[in-house]
Structure 1
Amino acid sequence: MSGTKTFLLELHCEEIPARFLTPLIEEFSAAFTAWASDQGLASAGLEAFYSPRKLAWRGASLPASQPDQTDTQVGPPQRMCVGEDGKPTLQGLKFAEKWGVDFSAVRFEQPAGRKEPCAVVTITKQGRPTVDLLAEALPGLIAGLHVPKAMRWGTSEFEFVRPIRNILCLFGDQVVPITVDGVTATNTTWGHRLYHREHPEAVKIATTEAYESALEAAGIVVSMEARRTRIAQQLEVLAAEVKGHVVADAELLDTLAEIVEFPKIVRGEFPADFLELPKEVLVTSLREHQKSFCIEGLDGALLPCFLTAANRTDDPAGFVKAGNEWVLKARLYDARFFFAEDRKHPLADRLEKLQALTFQRDLGSYHAKTGRVVALTKNLATRLSDDMDHIDRALEAARMAKCDLRTLMVGEFPELQGIMGGEYLRYEGAHEEVWKAVKEHYRPVGADDAIPGTPTGCLLSLCDKLDTVAGCFAVGLIPSGSKDPLALRRAGQGIVRILWERGWAFTPADLIAAALRTVGAKATKPEAETTEALLAFFKDRVAYQLELVGYAGSVRRSALAAGWEDLVDLKARCEALSAFAEDPRFASLAQSAKRIGNILKDEALSTDFDGSLLAQPEEKVLATCLKELESAPDQASLLAALANLAEPLEAFFNAVMVKCEDPALRAARLSLLHRLRQAFLRVADFSLWQ
């Protein structure tokens, strides 16, 4: 049996919760690939398909038969297998019998790690048909799929995410004979429920390549990517028909693609008077309650329309549209009620109520957190500005930042915290600087999110995140490995991004000291230990920031090693290094930097040297270059001078013996190299430039 065939497996189930689809698909793909590798069935990997009722995998170019496998077995020493008369001993015969060969097939070699020749036999195991291997392995691979809440149905002992109703399993045009939980594989599957109202028979899959087209004819687009693409295209077309465009939401787009089998977008309307609600309330209500997109006009204002997905090819009677409109209208009435009730009392009335809302067990309530954030804000605001009005507004924003946690709207939509506080303050007539800072102080909420758009918003966001990170570290809540339940890494990254993009001169050490002072007696860990852990934490966040910005690995490594706490300086150095990153002279400079480091290792060094002691032309040239380096006014000038240093350095090392016999000359040469290295470190550690 030769050649290759395509493998196809589909599990047709009851509706699977969307959150389980991707993990199940990825887990089986990894398990199958590992199994195939162990069996010698090399393939190009699995192509995955899934929809609410289907998990499917297709692997192309699997060999029709497993290749023959050879295995070498080592036995007793030769002297124990062959007697003095040259005939096999009983032990030698037993070794041959054990592996099913005649003694004539036994050879004697000295394997690695053995001190004398030993009996060796090579066993060739004929490869088996791949379909037989699949039949043996697939039930176990399927049963091994893990879900957090596996279930059993009826009297079955089989546990899975949902009942399996049909199994399609093909290898080429041959059905792989497997049975899982009483369901036997065939070459058929099932399409959309509405399709089978008119076509009661199962859908036959003639070939593995016809899988997608056969299912689409039966009302299911089985490719997640295809559904996402079609949904995105339909959204834009329907939004353009009302002279608008879709309010982008990549997560919602993925959700819709996961929960429908056939992507059909429907546009509905809601009463225009609901547009009086804040934009964020409408967008959130439509997304959370109806999995619907909003449409905004050219001016950015919302239109009284929404877009959602129908899990069918059409909506001839308009029931999908009408049903969504009916439910959505009720949800928007709820939102308007919450908005009206919340505005009956000033936001400031909720400040004391924060005492009943726990932030963290050891760190106390949100009222206590607010006090710490206010103290931090005052500390940092006075270092950024001497405008007392500006400082007072920053403090007012800090006091009001968490008050909306006690509102009805945030109770219904937690993702609107901060946003609603800003909106309520705006309606109350608060200063624009105050309400905008409150509204945006949770930003950035992720790597793709922008930092707050106002200086006060950035300051409040920084202080809020800093209190969270420092407070949690102070009570021993430190992220480890992939575990970060309090999202401290995200908060730390937000702090670094704000410092990076605003260009503020605060160092992590400054911020840590200020934050730990506000935590005070609530800390349960020694301050020195907490400071050390926080510095390591922020160094990792700074390194990740350099990666996010897109600096090359050589730039990141060398710049960080020369100092990382002054982010303004670090940014300038990285920008300058990036401009020179392709200059071939830096490769030579990197080698010279490593050589300087090796020479200066374990030496008692001084920055003072007598240039008059330098005798050779090459070292005099280098001393002249040093003056130019040390007088460079900025990073770009320094790097230009460093690039020009590559050739003089190479000439110096070729001609000069640094560690000569003359003590004074030796000291002068070592001091020259030490000062050169110090000049290098003003911008980067070039020994790490690779």
Structure 2
Amino acid sequence: MSGAKTFLLELHCEEIPARFLKPLTDEFAMAFSAWAAGQGLVTSGLEIFFSPRKLAWRGAGLPASQPDQTDTQVGPPQRMCVGEDGQPTIQGLKFAEKWGVEFGAVRFEQPAGKKEPCAVVTITKQGRPTADLLAEALPGLIAGLHVPKAMRWGNSEFEFVRPIRNILCLLGDQVVPITVDGVAATSTTWGHRLYHRQHPEPVKIASPEVYEAALEAAGVVAGLEGRRTRIAQQLDQLAAEAGGRVVADAELLDTLAEIVEFPKIVRGEFPADFLELPKEVLVTSLREHQKSFCIEGPDGALLPFFLTAANRTDDPAGFVKAGNEWVLKARLYDARFFFAEDRKHPLSDRLEKLKALTFQRELGSYHDKTGRVVALTKALARRLSTDDEHIDRALEAARMAKCDLRTLMVGEFPELQGVMGGEYLKHEGAHEEVWKAVKEHYRPVGAEDAIPGTPMGCLLSLCDKLDTVAGCFAVGLIPSGSKDPLALRRAGQGLVRILWEQGWPLTLADLVEAALKVVAPKATKPEADTREALLTFFKDRVAYQLELAKYVGSVRRSTMAVGWMDLVDLKLRCENLSLFSEDPRFAILGQSAKRIGNILKDEAPLNDFKAALLVEPAEIDLIQHLHRVETQHDIIVTLNNLAELADPLEAFFNAVMVKCEDPALRATRLSLLHRLRQAFLRVADFSLWQ
């Protein structure tokens, strides 16, 4: 057998929950690639296809036959295999017999790690047909897939995510004969259920290359990306026809692409009087209950239309549209009821009710958390503002921030935490700074999300996240490895982003000390341990922030090494050093900084500098350049001056013996190097510049 062939495997099942589709296909692809490599079957990897009822994989370039394999076996020492008469011993004959060769095929070599020549034999195994190897391996690879909620059906002992109804398995145009849970592989599959109402026979797949086209003709778009692209195009088209644009929601787009086999977007309508509800309520209600998109006009206001996906090629009688409109209207009546009921009482009435809502067992209720956030807000606001009215508004926002957790609307849609509090305060006539701060204080909720749009919102968000992180650390709830059930890393990263983008004169050490004071009554761990853990935690978050800002590794390492808690200073150093990062003089400066570090490694800091002792032209020139660096405070000028130090430093090391015999001269030169190192460390540790 010769030539390369394409492999195709499809498991046609009953409806599989969307959350299992990609993990299962990815896991099999990895397991298959590892198995193929172990068998010497070179493949370029597997294409992945999945839809609600299908898991499929296709790999091109699989050899028709496994290559011959050679294996070298090492046996006993030569002296034990061959007697003094030159004839093979019983042990030597047994070794040859074990590997199925004549003794004449045994050679004697000294393998690596052996102290003397040993018996060595090379065994060549003829490669087997790939189809045979696949037939043996595939049932085990399928059965080995990890399913969090595996099930069994009927009398079967086979566990899988859902019952397997059909298996398509081809190598080229030949069926690979496998059987899984009593289902034997064939060269056919099944398309969309509606298609088979008129075409009762299974769909014949002549070869792996026609898989996608054959399925589409039977009403199934095999690839996730193909379904996603079609949905996005139809959404944009139908929204434009309605005079608006789609309210973007990448997560919902992915969800729709996963739960349909053939995407067809349908536009429906709802009564315009529901537009009196806040935009976020409508968007959330349509997304959560109906998996539907909203349409907004050029001004950002919603239009009375929605877009949803039908799992079929058309909707000729309009049943899909009508059914969605009917259900959606009922959902919106519920939302309107919640909105009206919640506004019957001021939001502040719910502050005391927060005592019955637990934030964390050891940290107490949300009422307790609110008290800590208010205290943090007061401490930090006074460092950022001298306007008492502004500070009072910040404290009011902190008191009201969590009250909407006791509203009907947030009970129905937890995603609207904060948003509804802001909306209710707006309807009550609260100051704009207050209601906006409450509305956006959960942001950023992820790496792609923006920070709050107002300074007060940023302050409230920072204090809320700081209390969460510091409080959890104070009671021993610290993320470890990949485990972070309370999303503390996300909260910490959001806090760092706010500081980074706002440019406030607050260091992370300041924040940690303020937080330790307010969480002290609840703390169960020693304060010193909590402080150390928090600083380590925030240092990691700052390092990641520098990555997000796309600073190169040399800039990140060298700047953080000399200080990372003051983000205003760190950002200034990173931005300006990045401008100089391609300057070749900095590479020379890095080498000189390492040399200075090595010379001063075992030397105590010296202040015994006597300029009169320095008479070499190279050291006098270096002093003059150093003086310009030490007297400059503008960072750009400082960086220029540091870059100009590269050549004088190199000349100095070429001309001067630092650790000379004269004690006074030696002390002066060491003191000069110490001053140089301190000058470097004003910006970065250039010894880490690579």
1:224 equivalenced with 2:224 (yes/no): yes
Q: Is the 2:262–2:311 Cα contact (8 Å) retained in structure 1?
A: yes
CA distance in structure 2 between the aligned counterparts of 1:61 and 1:384, rounded to whole angstroms: 64
Structure 2 counterpart of 1:369:
369
Structure 2 counterpart of 1:622:
622
1:567 equivalenced with 2:544 (yes/no): no
CA distance in structure 2 between the aligned counterparts of 1:57 and 1:646, rounded to whole angstroms: 58
1:27 equivalenced with 2:31 (yes/no): no
1:484 equivalenced with 2:487 (yes/no): no
1:40 equivalenced with 2:40 (yes/no): yes
Structure 1 counterpart of 2:58:
58
218-227 or 606-615: which moved more? 606-615
Structure 1 counterpart of 2:330:
330
Letter in 2 for 1:312: R
Q: Within 5 Å, which residues of 2 pair with 1:333-348?
A: 333-348=333-348
Letter in 2 for 1:247: V
Shift in Å at residue 174 of structure 1?
1.1
Q: Is the 2:177–2:185 Cα contact (8 Å) retained in structure 1?
A: yes
| Number of residue pairs the alignment of both structures matches | 690
Q: Deviations over 1:89-109 (max 9, x none)?
A: 111000000010000001111
CA distance in structure 2 between the aligned counterparts of 1:650 and 1:263, rounded to whole angstroms: 68
Shift in Å at residue 615 of structure 1?
2.2
Shift in Å at residue 61 of structure 1?
0.8
**Structure 1 SS opposite 2:645:** helix
Structure 2 counterpart of 1:97:
97
Letter in 2 for 1:303: L
Structure 2 counterpart of 1:126:
126
CA distance in structure 1 between the aligned counterparts of 2:685 and 2:62, rounded to whole angstroms: 50
Q: Deviations over 1:332-382 (max 9, x none)?
A: 000000000000000000000000000000000000000010111111111
Structure 2 counterpart of 1:15:
15
Q: Is the 2:168–2:187 Cα contact (8 Å) retained in structure 1?
A: yes
Structure 1 counterpart of 2:3:
3
Q: Is the 2:28–2:141 Cα contact (8 Å) retained in structure 1?
A: yes
**Structure 2 SS opposite 1:574:** helix
Shift in Å at residue 251 of structure 1?
0.3
584-593 or 325-334: which moved more? 584-593
Structure 1 counterpart of 2:648:
648
1:167 equivalenced with 2:167 (yes/no): yes
Identity %: 84
Structure 1 counterpart of 2:135:
135
Structure 2 counterpart of 1:176:
176
CA distance in structure 1 between the aligned counterparts of 2:170 and 2:143, rounded to whole angstroms: 19
Structure 1 counterpart of 2:636:
636
283-292 or 672-681: which moved more? 672-681
Distance 1:607 1:626, change over 3 A: farther
Q: Is the 2:108–2:119 Cα contact (8 Å) retained in structure 1?
A: yes
Structure 2 counterpart of 1:198:
198
CA distance in structure 2 between the aligned counterparts of 1:338 and 1:529, rounded to whole angstroms: 46
Shift in Å at residue 608 of structure 1?
4.4
Q: Deviations over 1:403-456 (max 9, x none)?
A: 000000000000001000000000000011110000000011111111111111
Structure 1 counterpart of 2:689:
689
**Structure 2 SS opposite 1:201:** coil
Structure 1 counterpart of 2:158:
158
Letter in 1 for 2:80: M
Shift in Å at residue 273 of structure 1?
0.1
Letter in 1 for 2:631: S
CA distance in structure 2 between the aligned counterparts of 1:412 and 1:260, rounded to whole angstroms: 26
Shift in Å at residue 632 of structure 1?
2.1
CA distance in structure 1 between the aligned counterparts of 2:341 and 2:500, rounded to whole angstroms: 40
Shift in Å at residue 689 of structure 1?
1.2
Q: Is the 2:175–2:185 Cα contact (8 Å) retained in structure 1?
A: yes
Shift in Å at residue 633 of structure 1?
2.1
CA distance in structure 2 between the aligned counterparts of 1:609 and 1:193, rounded to whole angstroms: 89
Letter in 2 for 1:538: F
CA distance in structure 1 between the aligned counterparts of 2:483 and 2:314, rounded to whole angstroms: 45
**Structure 1 SS opposite 2:186:** coil
181-190 or 669-678: which moved more? 669-678
Structure 2 counterpart of 1:398:
398
Q: Within 5 Å, which residues of 2 pair with 1:250-289?
A: 250-289=250-289
Structure 2 counterpart of 1:471:
471
Letter in 2 for 1:61: G
Structure 2 counterpart of 1:521:
521
Shift in Å at residue 601 of structure 1?
0.5
Give ranges in structure 2 of 5+ residues lacking alignment.
Answer: none
Shift in Å at residue 607 of structure 1?
4.0
CA distance in structure 2 between the aligned counterparts of 1:317 and 1:607, rounded to whole angstroms: 91
Q: Deviations over 1:196-248 (max 9, x none)?
A: 00111111111111110110010000100011111111100000001100000
Letter in 1 for 2:314: D
Structure 1 counterpart of 2:612:
612
**Structure 1 SS opposite 2:85:** coil
Q: Within 5 Å, which residues of 2 pair with 1:406-417?
A: 406-417=406-417
Shift in Å at residue 640 of structure 1?
1.1
Letter in 2 for 1:35: W
Q: Deviations over 1:527-571 (max 9, x none)?
A: 000000000000000000001111111111111111100100000
Q: Deviations over 1:483-541 (max 9, x none)?
A: 10100001001110111111011111111111111112210000000000000000000
Give ranges in structure 1 of 5+ residues lacking alignment.
Answer: none
430-439 or 626-635: which moved more? 626-635
Shift in Å at residue 652 of structure 1?
1.6
**Structure 1 SS opposite 2:435:** helix
Shift in Å at residue 287 of structure 1?
0.3
Structure 2 counterpart of 1:666:
666
Structure 2 counterpart of 1:74:
74
Q: Is the 2:40–2:67 Cα contact (8 Å) retained in structure 1?
A: yes
**Structure 2 SS opposite 1:310:** strand
Shift in Å at residue 647 of structure 1?
1.4
Letter in 2 for 1:573: R
CA distance in structure 1 between the aligned counterparts of 2:538 and 2:2, rounded to whole angstroms: 58
Q: Within 5 Å, which residues of 2 pair with 1:501-512?
A: 501-512=501-512
Shift in Å at residue 14 of structure 1?
0.4
Structure 2 counterpart of 1:207:
207
Normalised to the residue count of structure 2, the TM-score between the two structures is 0.99
Letter in 2 for 1:74: V
Structure 1 counterpart of 2:237:
237
**Structure 2 SS opposite 1:123:** strand
1:495 equivalenced with 2:502 (yes/no): no
Normalised to the residue count of structure 1, the TM-score between the two structures is 0.99
Shift in Å at residue 605 of structure 1?
2.0
Q: Deviations over 1:297-327 (max 9, x none)?
A: 0000000000010000000000000000000
Structure 2 counterpart of 1:448:
448
Letter in 1 for 2:40: G
Letter in 1 for 2:43: S
Shift in Å at residue 42 of structure 1?
1.6
Shift in Å at residue 622 of structure 1?
1.0
Letter in 1 for 2:541: R
**Structure 1 SS opposite 2:170:** strand
**Structure 2 SS opposite 1:609:** coil
**Structure 2 SS opposite 1:185:** strand
Letter in 2 for 1:255: T
**Structure 2 SS opposite 1:670:** helix
CA distance in structure 2 between the aligned counterparts of 1:258 and 1:84, rounded to whole angstroms: 75
CA distance in structure 2 between the aligned counterparts of 1:608 and 1:393, rounded to whole angstroms: 56
CA distance in structure 1 between the aligned counterparts of 2:609 and 2:130, rounded to whole angstroms: 77
Q: Is the 2:608–2:667 Cα contact (8 Å) retained in structure 1?
A: no
**Structure 2 SS opposite 1:6:** strand
Q: Is the 2:558–2:688 Cα contact (8 Å) retained in structure 1?
A: yes
Q: Deviations over 1:453-489 (max 9, x none)?
A: 1111111101100000000000000001111010000
Shift in Å at residue 2 of structure 1?
2.2
CA distance in structure 2 between the aligned counterparts of 1:574 and 1:640, rounded to whole angstroms: 15
1:381 equivalenced with 2:381 (yes/no): yes
Structure 1 counterpart of 2:600:
600
Letter in 1 for 2:321: K
Letter in 2 for 1:327: V
Letter in 1 for 2:366: Y
Letter in 2 for 1:662: D
Letter in 1 for 2:177: P
Q: Deviations over 1:35-72 (max 9, x none)?
A: 11111112111110100000011111111111111111
CA distance in structure 1 between the aligned counterparts of 2:235 and 2:194, rounded to whole angstroms: 24
Shift in Å at residue 657 of structure 1?
1.4
CA distance in structure 1 between the aligned counterparts of 2:264 and 2:244, rounded to whole angstroms: 19
